Amino acid sequence: MTSNDTASRHVVFLDRETLPEQVTVRPPAFAHTMDAYQRTRPDEVVERAKDAEIVITNKVPLRADTIAALPKLKMIAVAATGTDIIDLKACKERGIVVSNIREYATATVPEHTMGLILSLSRSIRPYHNSVVQGRWKEADQFCYFDYPIFDLRGKVLGIIGDGVLGKAVAKLGEAFGMEVRFSTYKGVDGMGPLYTPFERILSESDVITLHCPLMDSTRNLLGAAEFDQMKKKPLVINSARGGLVDEQALVAALKAGKIGGAAFDVVTTEPIPDGHPFLDIMDEPNFILTPHVAWASIEAIQGLADQMVDNIDAFVAGSPRNVVGG
């Protein structure tokens, strides 16, 4: 497919609502028609995308059976970095190009991560709530010490995931005077002197933050056995992917005092469903849950939208970029 091929192509955006209205999605540079749906249920995909050569999706899954029912499909533009919603094997077998977004959140995710760490380490949430509830007015002096506060300087920051986001968090941690250590993979040795064994990250870190993809090898990376090894009762931060942590085990560890606190921006099923274990600890002073917004600065999302269209234009021009899965 080259830029000399001027036939109009049909593009379908399955979940435009996942990008804020104030973010501009510019039209592709080639002749095209586009249907942009605010949201699409999985059972609506085939009908809506049956004539599409290019499908844009952020969170709407495209599994093998759906892909098989879309004979005109030639490219999937994922409006995110993670591609676990796409059956990459089925796409490869069909010759469908899958492109994702890369390195767009190098400021927003690390800043959100540090915001969560700071909020926990300074007990900002419970202190604010206590002021709202009148505690300060009741105090007999200018301040009170109901919740713990500790400095980040000198503390060990254990980072699981050494990609661009993990490295950006490391720089922020170093700016706060933290001792930064990158973890080896769970169960893997021999990664070199720049990495700390996974078990030592668990036992020696004051803060553990996750910045790795969700794969079979990382699912439930932190579970009951791992929480038992956390001798320093660290803060546990997950702004990466739901599923990296056994959520029930985390709740149990928090209630048992095995960790000093937890802050998550992601859960395994989103939005969080009724009965989720995190709902039992929402009032705990050392727990924070944000609704998958670490990536969502206006600057980052505009960059994502621009890169997404760049990926589509590159594909039509015959030079696919950011290709996933071969």
Q: Where in the sequence numbering do the catalytic residues fall? A: 241, 270, 292
With tokens 């933050």, the residue in question is: 209
Q: Is 326 exposed, middle or buried (0-12, 13-18, 19+ CB in 10 A)?
A: exposed
With tokens 């104030």, the residue in question is: 22
Q: Which pair of structure tokens corresponds to residue 120?
A: 């926990």
Closest by CA position to 109, among listed 269, 237, 235, 18: 237
Backbone angles phi, psi at 109, to 5 degrees: -70, -45
Gyration radius of the chain's alpha carbons: 22
- Calculate the CA dihedral of residues 67, 70, 72, 77 and round it to 10 degrees: -50
Q: Which pair of structure tokens corresponds to residue 276?
A: 């989720």
How many CA atoms lie less than 13 Å away from 203 in the CB half-sphere?
7
Residue 259: how many other CB atoms lie within 10 Å = 21
- The H-assigned helical ranges of the chain are 45-49, 64-68, 88-94, 108-121, 124-132, 135-138, 164-175, 198-204, 224-228, 247-255, 298-316
Closest by CA position to 156, among listed 122, 191, 207: 207
